[in-house]
Amino acid sequence: MSSKPNLSIIIPVHNEEENILELYERLYSTLSLPSLIETTYEIIFIDDGSTDGTFEEIKKIKNSKVKVVRFQRNYGKAAALSCGFKRSKGDFVITMDGDLQDDPKEIPRFIEELKRYDMVSGWKNKRQDPISKTLPSKVFNRLTRFITGVEVHDFNCGYKAYNNYVVKNINLYGELHRYIPALVYWKGYTVGEIEVEHHPRVHGESKYGIERLLKGFLDLITVTFLMMYKKRPLHVFGGIGILFGLSGVIISIYLIVLWAAGLKIGDRPLLMLGILLTVTGAQFISLGLIGELITNSRNNDDYVIKYDSYELENGR
C-alpha cells in the first residue's frame, strides 16, 4: 500500500433526492480534516433505480472524484453494493447509507480499525429508528449470531469498511447484503466491529419494511448452508435423504406387520397427504439450495446499467 491511503466510499441510493447534496457536503468536510488530509478518495454513488431527482442531484456535484452509476431499475441494495465493489479502486472501501443516518465523522475510526481486521462492521447501538424496525432487527441479529457463530451485533448495518481484497471476493445478490459479516468470515477473513453514531432519518422514507425483512430470513438458510457445506452438498441432501428413506422403511415394516397380523391398516387420507407434503417439501428445499449454490458460484451481475461515469471517463 502506498503511504497515501486510497479510499473508496460507496453509497447506494434509492429515492434520496433531499439527502444527496447535504451528505456530500458532510463527507467533503470530513475528508478535508487534518487526520485524513493524506488520504485520496473517490465517492461512488449507485443510483438504484430512483424515480425522483436523485440522479440529477448527484450530477450537480462538481468534483471529479465523485462517480455515479445509475441502474435501469431498482435492483436492491445487494446489487448496488456489488456494483460499487466491482468499481472501487481504493485500498480501503467504505459503504454507507445515503440517508444521512450514518455520520461521515466515523470514517477515521473505521480506517484505524482496518489495520487490525480485514473488515470492520458498524454497530448502531443507539439506533434512531422506530421500534417496528429496531425490535425485529434485534431478533434477526440474535438469530444470525447464533446460527453463524459470528459475534457481530448489527449484521445489516449499512456502514462498513473493508480492505479492498475482501470486496473483490464476495458475491452479493438478493438480500445477502444483510449477512456480509458472516459471508466475509466464512471466506476466512477477520471481522471487527465498532459502535457508530446513528441519526434519525429526516428526509425521505425507509425502503426496508417488515416484508423485506421476512424475505431476508429465507436467505439465512442459504447463508447457513453456504457456511457449512458449500463443497459437499451431498452431506446435506444425503443426510436428509437417509433420514426420510429410513423413516419410510420403518413405517412400511410397521404397516406390513400390522397387515400380516390381520389388523386393519386404516383408511386415512390425511396420512397420505402428510407424507406427500413432507416429501415434496424436502425435495423443493433441496432443489432451492442447489439453485442457490449455482447462483452463488457464478459472478452474477444481474443488473442493467443505464449510466456509468466510469465508462464515460474511459472515452465512451
Binding site for ligand UDP (CB under 6 A): 12-14, 16, 48, 74, 76-77, 80, 97-99, 101, 158, 206-208
CB of 15 to ligand UDP, least distance (A): 7
Residue with Cβ nearer Mg ion (140 or 186) = 140
CB of 212 to ligand UDP, least distance (A): 8
- Residue 160 interacting entry, from ligand UDP, Mg ion, none, C-beta within 5 to 8 Å by type: none
User: 3-state DSSP call for residue 119?
Assistant: strand
- Residue 16 interacting entry, from Mg ion, ligand UDP, none, C-beta within 5 to 8 Å by type: ligand UDP
Closest residue by beta carbon to ligand UDP: 206
Residue with Cβ nearer ligand UDP (48 or 292) = 48
Residue with Cβ nearer ligand UDP (213 or 282) = 213
Rg (alpha carbons) of the chain, rounded to whole number: 24
Distances in Å between the alpha carbon of 116 and those of 164, 179, 197, 287? 14, 21, 21, 40
Residue with Cβ nearer Mg ion (91 or 99) = 99
C-alpha cell recorded at residue 160? 462498513
- Residue 177 interacting entry, from Mg ion, ligand UDP, none, C-beta within 5 to 8 Å by type: none
Residue with Cβ nearer ligand UDP (40 or 74) = 74
End-to-end CA distance of the chain: 31
CB of 142 to ligand UDP, least distance (A): 17
Q: Which residues of 74-104 are buried (b: 16+ CB within 10 A; e: fewer)?
A: bbbbbbbbbbbbebbebbbbbbbbbbbbbeb
CB of 191 to ligand UDP, least distance (A): 20
CB of 106 to ligand UDP, least distance (A): 16
Task: State the residues that interact with Mg ion by CB under 5 A.
Answer: 97, 99, 101
Distances in Å between the alpha carbon of 32 and those of 48, 80, 90, 143, 197? 28, 27, 17, 40, 20
C-alpha span between 2 and 90 (Å, rounded): 11
Single-letter residue type at 32 = S
C-alpha cell recorded at residue 266? 386404516
Residue with Cβ nearer ligand UDP (23 or 31) = 23
- Residue 174 interacting entry, from Mg ion, ligand UDP, none, C-beta within 5 to 8 Å by type: none
Which residues face 9 on adjacent strands? 43, 94
DSSP state of 261: T
- Residue 90 interacting entry, from Mg ion, ligand UDP, none, C-beta within 5 to 8 Å by type: none
The answer to whether 191 and 121 are in contact (CB under 8 A) is: yes
Residue with Cβ nearer ligand UDP (52 or 112) = 52
CB of 141 to Mg ion, least distance (A): 16
Single-letter residue type at 167 = V
CB of 208 to ligand UDP, least distance (A): 4
Single-letter residue type at 292 = E
Burial class (CB in 10 A: 0-12, 13-18, 19+), 138: middle
Q: Which of 129, 138, 130, 132 is nearest to 156 (CA)?
A: 138
- Residue 76 interacting entry, from ligand UDP, Mg ion, none, C-beta within 5 to 8 Å by type: ligand UDP
